[in-house]
Structure 1
Amino acid sequence: MSKIKTSKIKVGIVGVGHIGKFHTRHLASASEFEFAGMYDIRPEHAQKISSEFGGKIHESFTDLLSASDAILICTPTKTHFELAQQALTAGKHVFIEKPVTENVMQGEQLVALAKSKKLKFQVGHIERFNPALMVLNHLDLNPVFIESHRLAPFNPRGAQMAVVHENMIHDIDIILSLVKSPVTGIAANGVAVVTGEPDIANARLTFANGCVANVTASRISLNQMRKMRIFQPATYITIDFQQHQTEIYQLKNAADVPPDATSFDINSTDKKIVYSKPALPESDAMRAEQLSFVEAIQNDTEPIVSGADGLEALRIAEKIYALIVV
């Protein structure tokens, strides 16, 4: 039986910059847990965020830890390891924005530390909480081929990292969660067009169960696109993460198709293609991932996006990056 903690979890945040600002807004308005406040190395910026959303400003990270049961780390990636190690050592549950750390070795140390301390460790791969993906939870998915495109116009923010770590890693994490099989082969290519790091990249992932995934990411495109297509026997699914839209095509026995279903005849008298476009619930992905983190703490369950998940996504991203820059 899961353990249930009835008192409210106290959640603090370190780093209230671009992503941290949005997290703070959700933390301050939540009723399911207590907002323990914030710490940022820029006091004037922390004051601005506190004035906008509320929340106590702590004078140091140590003070924030003392006031919190759990910590959201929304600082630059190069600081993730040190802050998370300090928080876990202090006995605090940790949510950390993606990518989990600068390198795999650091990620492995944090996963091991969280396990040894029996603490919850979640990574902020927010697309896992996109309703366009979550609506598929009821389906029996066994992908054979996956194709994804994550394209965006150039934005200097985040340009210090390769597009693989900044953008593609979202789809890597999603694909790993869908396929649930070890990656056995990687082929990749990419180009640094406007920065010193790859700005556009493509990777082909081969899995032990035979699935193949073709993954493209670009931060120098004219228009935004966040789409994924999933193919498996008798099923084709298209997901638009940006528009929150999912379409499903399934091959079914004609006798099993309801009269009011949208269906298409094919060159067979006993089969039809059935089309559905599920109505997606109103959902805020950032709020959903925060609540998932808190519920994992309260119920002593594994987070939906665990530290190990974030580490594996980083591990594959690192292998892709190494193939591109050699």
Structure 2
Amino acid sequence: MVKVGVIGVGYLGQHHARIYSELKGVELVGVADIDEKRVSEIAKKYSCRAYTNYYELLKEVEAVSIVVPTVHHYAVAIDAINENIDILVEKPITSTIDEAEILIREADKKNLILQVGHLERFNSALMELSKKVKNPIFIESQRISPFLGRGIDVDVVVDLMVHD
């Protein structure tokens, strides 16, 4: 049984917690968030512990999802690496290339998993499109979705270009 935790239980972090709670061979040990009310609600919903200090959660798990605002990815991930914890971090990996390179290097040194959640590549619409369009010469696309107010801690290119 792999002991996992989720750091950040906003919109996407709640999905991570739900999925971990449903996976066989996985124990969702706890969730961490600075919002005490939210983290308590999510912990109760998935029968795990609530932490307002993610350092405490890191002491209890083997793997962690990092689903905090991008500007905090580096700090949280380097703390997890220092505790020898495997990581799934939401995209983008960090705010800067330098920070990303440090995380990759440090995880490699310790033979840890550092996986970035590039989920759009598994979007069913994009997967179907790739079956139909074999050798495109030119593609124009538009992202049409409501503005949800999240992911604004980094510019739109850093946040969305990995998808589009």
Task: Provide the TM-score with structure 1 as the length reference.
Answer: 0.45
Q: Kindly, what percent of the aligned residue pairs are identical?
A: 37
Written as runs of structure 1 = structure 2, the 5 A alignment for 1:84-233 is 84-134=77-127, 144-171=137-164
**TM-aligned CA deviation for residue 26 of structure 1:** 1.4
Q: Point out where structure 2 has 5 or more consecutive residues left out of the alignment.
A: none
Q: Does 1:21 align with 2:21?
A: no
SS in 1 for 2:65: strand
Q: Report how far residue 135 of structure 1 moved.
A: 5.7
Shift of 1:40: 1.3
The alpha-carbon deviation at position 35 of structure 1 amounts to 1.2
Distance in 2 between residues matched to 1:66 and 1:113, nearest whole Å: 19
What is the CA–CA distance in structure 2 between the aligned matches of 1:149 and 1:138, rounded to whole Å?
Answer: 19
Work out whether residues 91 and 118 of structure 2, in 8 Å CA contact, stay in contact via their aligned partners in 1: yes
How many equivalent residue pairs?
A: 163
**Shift in Å at residue 78 of structure 1?**
1.1
Question: Which residue in 1 is equivalent to 2:4?
Answer: 11
Match of 1:282 in 2: none
**How big is the alpha-carbon RMSD for the aligned residues of Structure 1 and Structure 2?**
2.4
The structure carrying a bigger strand percent of its residues is 1
Cα distance 1:136–1:70, how it changes in 2: closer, same or farther (>3 A)?
farther
Q: Counterparts of 1:81 and 1:105 in 2: how far apart (Å)?
A: 10
Distance apart, 1:152 and its partner CA: 2.4
The residue identity in structure 2 corresponding to 1:101 is: T
**In proportion to residue count, which structure has more helix?**
2
* Partner in structure 2 of residue 317 of structure 1: none
Structure 1, unpaired ranges of 5+: 1-7, 172-326
Letter in 1 for 2:12: I
| Pairing 1:67–2:60 present | yes
User: Equivalents in 1 of 2:91, 2:77: separation in Å?
Assistant: 13
Give 1:136 shift: 7.7
Secondary structure, counterpart of 2:68 in structure 1 = coil
Taking structure 1 as reference, are residues 116 and 142 closer, same or farther at Cα in structure 2, changes over 3 Å only?
farther
